[in-house]
């Protein structure tokens, strides 16, 4: 990241360079594992040399930098909101023990630390393949951060702050792509309770959702007029998103469908496919499929063995109904009707209900509102019909929720047709969501 000067340029360039660095180190550890020529520690010296070369190359290429950071008013609202949320996250990260949502996260970290590679463990119970078959990139990145000299252990402990920094830049990039006017409604993006939970406990949902959210935002804001080379970028990020979190698979389908509907250019589609393959390689999806086939005799069999899938069409219908209710009930009614449905993270909360109101009011007037709502529905239907946990665990579909909130933020201040009560209600939503986050913070302190 230092070599790529990840701190320079527009928010979109920053996020792109961060995931470019992640892609490079991911490809390296895959090569090291398959070739059996060392461990992740062996990569320190060549990466240091590569960083110097990248830094020199990018320093001599000023044209690659961009000042397209959007209107100057964004930081006035985004940064205080990020600092307020970050202060709560910082306190919890340092007071609570490093706690994963699923134990396999820390177990895989320990295995990578011991072996120095991402090789599968043949001693893992074949009936519970999560320790092997699910993507390993998030845990490898935590191990990588842990080995930063002097500050590594503390950096892992403060994983929530690192996640918040990446989320802040991503949210900023989304608002710029949507041409949202600077204003206090941008605070809504930092009031989503689901995002807060991602920053407290160790879980890979957020890092998989951010590239997917960027691709969805690009689809509704730039796809029609984007240069062909941007299709390579979009495909690459979509491939990474699906690799990290398999429940993000609808983002790839949305990207393909939107390209066929609105561009129908062979070159653009070809670049998108090439980018998707590159993202699948860089994100480790191809590696996982190959290793699954070698270890379990089936590339996708281990995925199907993991619980959470509907057993038939009726089960899918119930899952869809539960998810539809959960969009509005704040996790109360769904848990009462289906007490067996557990999970962590909860629902999108009030910000999505507010966003849906703004989007629906503007759906006839604003093309972005129609497209964002349509693609979010496609995303939700595909996920909810294939995952029975979606109704009480919106973390699986964080990206389309963030898209709708960002689109609503871009529409609410500028729309003359948005009722006054919708605009005024944004204040109440932000305040109530902040209180919900503080309540959740107190419960973390009590229960952990």
Cα-Cα-Cα-Cα dihedral of 387, 159, 40, 241, to 10°?
30
Mean pLDDT of 381-405: 91
Q: Which positions ≥6 away from 447 have C-beta within 8 Å?
A: none
pLDDT tops 80 at residue 130:
no
Query: What is the model's pLDDT at position 390?
Result: 81
Q: If pLDDT is split at 50, 70 and 90, which confidence band does 427 have?
A: very high
Q: What is the pLDDT of residues 3-62, one digit of tens each?
A: 988 888 899 999 999 999 999 999 999 999 999 998 999 999 999 999 999 998 888 766
Query: What is the model's pLDDT at position 64?
Result: 52
Q: What are phi and psi of 180, to 5 degrees?
A: -70, 135
Greater model confidence, 427 or 412? 427
Query: What is the model's pLDDT at position 405?
Result: 97
Query: What is the model's pLDDT at position 66?
Result: 54
Q: What is the pLDDT of residues 159-191, one digit of tens each?
A: 999 999 999 999 999 999 999 988 889 999 999
Whole-angstrom distance, CA of residue 335 vs CA of residue 325? 10
Find where tokens 């970028």 sit. 233
Q: What is the DSSP letter of 135?
A: -
Query: What is the model's pLDDT at position 211?
Result: 98
Q: What is the DSSP letter of 182?
A: P
- Residues 384, 391: contact at Cβ < 8 Å? yes
Whole-angstrom distance, CA of residue 299 vs CA of residue 394? 27
pLDDT tops 90 at residue 447:
no
pLDDT tops 60 at residue 319:
yes
pLDDT tops 90 at residue 437:
yes
Percentage of residues of the chain with pLDDT beyond 70: 94
Single out the residue of 223, 255, 220 nearest to residue 239, CA to CA.
255
Strand, coil or helix: what is 100? strand
Find where tokens 């594992």 sit. 33
Q: If pLDDT is split at 50, 70 and 90, which confidence band does 70 have?
A: low
Query: What is the model's pLDDT at position 271?
Result: 96
Tokens standing for residue 320: 């869809």
Q: What is the residue extent of each domain of the chain? A: 11-67+76-447
Strand partners, 100: 202
Q: Tell me the pLDDT of the chain averaged across its residues.
A: 90
Burial class for 260, CB neighbours closer than 10 Å (0-12, 13-18, 19+): exposed
- Residues 385, 250: contact at Cβ < 8 Å? no
Query: What is the model's pLDDT at position 69?
Result: 63
Q: If pLDDT is split at 50, 70 and 90, which confidence band does 420 have?
A: confident
């Amino acid at each position: 990241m230092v070599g790529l000067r990840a701190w320079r340029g527009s928010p979109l360039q920053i996020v792109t360079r961060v995931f470019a660095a992640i892609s490079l180190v991911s490809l390296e550890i895959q090569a090291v594992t398959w070739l059996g020529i060392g461990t992740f520690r062996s990569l320190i010296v060549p990466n240091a040399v590569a960083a110097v070369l990248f830094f020199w190359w990018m320093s001599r290429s000023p044209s690659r930098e961009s000042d397209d950071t959007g209107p100057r008013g964004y930081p006035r609202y985004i940064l205080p909101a990020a600092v307020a949320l970050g202060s709560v996250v910082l306190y919890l990260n340092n007071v609570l023990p490093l706690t994963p949502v699923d134990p396999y996260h820390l177990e895989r970290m320990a295995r990578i630390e011991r072996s120095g590679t991402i090789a599968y463990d043949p001693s893992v119970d074949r009936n519970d393949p999560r320790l092997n078959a699910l993507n390993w990139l998030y845990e490898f990145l935590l191990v990588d951060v842990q080995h930063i000299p002097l500050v590594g252990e503390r950096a892992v402990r403060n994983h929530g702050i690192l996640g918040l920094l990446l989320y802040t830049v991503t949210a900023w990039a989304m608002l710029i792509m949507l041409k949202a006017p600077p204003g206090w409604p941008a605070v809504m993006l930092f009031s989503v309770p689901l995002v807060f939970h991602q920053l407290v406990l160790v879980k890979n949902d957020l890092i998989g959702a951010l590239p997917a959210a960027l691709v969805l935002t690009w689809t509704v804001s730039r796809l029609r007029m984007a240069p062909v080379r941007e299709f390579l970028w979009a495909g690459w990020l979509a491939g990474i998103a699906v690799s990290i979190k398999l429940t993000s698979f609808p983002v790839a389908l949305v990207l393909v469908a939107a390209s066929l509907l609105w561009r129908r250019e062979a070159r653009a589609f070809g670049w998108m496919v090439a980018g998707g393959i590159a993202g699948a390689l860089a994100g480790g999806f191809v590696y996982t499929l190959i290793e699954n086939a070698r270890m379990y005799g089936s590339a996708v069999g281990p995925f199907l063995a993991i619980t959470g899938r509907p057993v038939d069409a009726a089960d899918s219908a119930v899952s869809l109904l539960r998810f539809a209710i959960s969009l509005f009930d704040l996790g109360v009614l769904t848990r009462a009707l289906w007490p067996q449905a557990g999970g962590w993270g909860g629902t999108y909360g009030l910000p999505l209900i507010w966003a849906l109101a703004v989007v629906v009011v503007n759906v006839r007037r604003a093309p972005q509102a129609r497209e964002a709502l349509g693609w979010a529905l496609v995303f939700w239907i595909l996920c909810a019909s294939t995952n029975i946990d979606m109704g009480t665990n919106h973390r699986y579909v964080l990206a389309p929720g963030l898209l709708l909130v960002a689109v609503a933020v871009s529409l609410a201040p500028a729309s003359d047709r948005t009722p006054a009560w919708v605009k005024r209600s944004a204040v109440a939503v932000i305040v109530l969501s902040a209180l919900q986050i503080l309540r959740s913070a107190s419960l973390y302190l009590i229960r952990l």
